């Protein structure tokens, strides 16, 4: 981490972006949108059960698998569904990072 921070200090246009997980990034892109998901993303600490999930990343993976089940965007951690690489979907994911200048 120290080396990364040094690179950020000396580099121009370098930013450190640390989302909860890749799955959180997808969920936050409003590809799957319903009131329950909105509530969960606004206050995940109220939904993550540490007895069931070792980390928030695992929680968000499970949530994405459930939200995408049976859709053309069905998510599997082992292999990225090619649907996520479609420009429309990919751009929504990238746009979630745009307030940070990406």
3-state secondary structure of 1: coil
Residue 14 domain-assigned (yes or no) = no
Residue 10 domain-assigned (yes or no) = no
Query: For residue 102, what pLDDT is reported?
Result: 47
Query: For residue 53, what pLDDT is reported?
Result: 79
pTM for this predicted structure: 0.77
Residue 34 domain-assigned (yes or no) = yes
DSSP state of 81: -
- Domain span at 53: 20-100
pLDDT tens for residues 46-74? 888 778 878 888 999 999 999 999 999 99
Domain count, the chain: 1
Residue 4 domain-assigned (yes or no) = no
CA-closest candidate to residue 25, choices 80, 55, 64: 64
Centroid of chain to Cα 79: 16
Residue 11 domain-assigned (yes or no) = no
């Amino acid at each position: 981490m120290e080396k990364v921070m040094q690179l950020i200090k000396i580099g121009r246009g370098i930013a450190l972006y640390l989302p909860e997980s890749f799955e959180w990034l997808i969920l936050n892109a409003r590809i799957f949108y319903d009131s329950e998901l909105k509530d969960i993303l606004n206050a995940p600490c109220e939904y993550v059960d540490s007895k069931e999930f070792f980390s928030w990343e695992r929680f968000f993976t499970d949530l994405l698998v459930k939200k995408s089940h049976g859709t053309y965007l069905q998510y599997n951690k082992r292999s990225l569904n090619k649907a996520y690489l479609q420009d429309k979907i990919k751009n929504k994911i990238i746009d979630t990072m745009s307030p940070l200048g990406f």
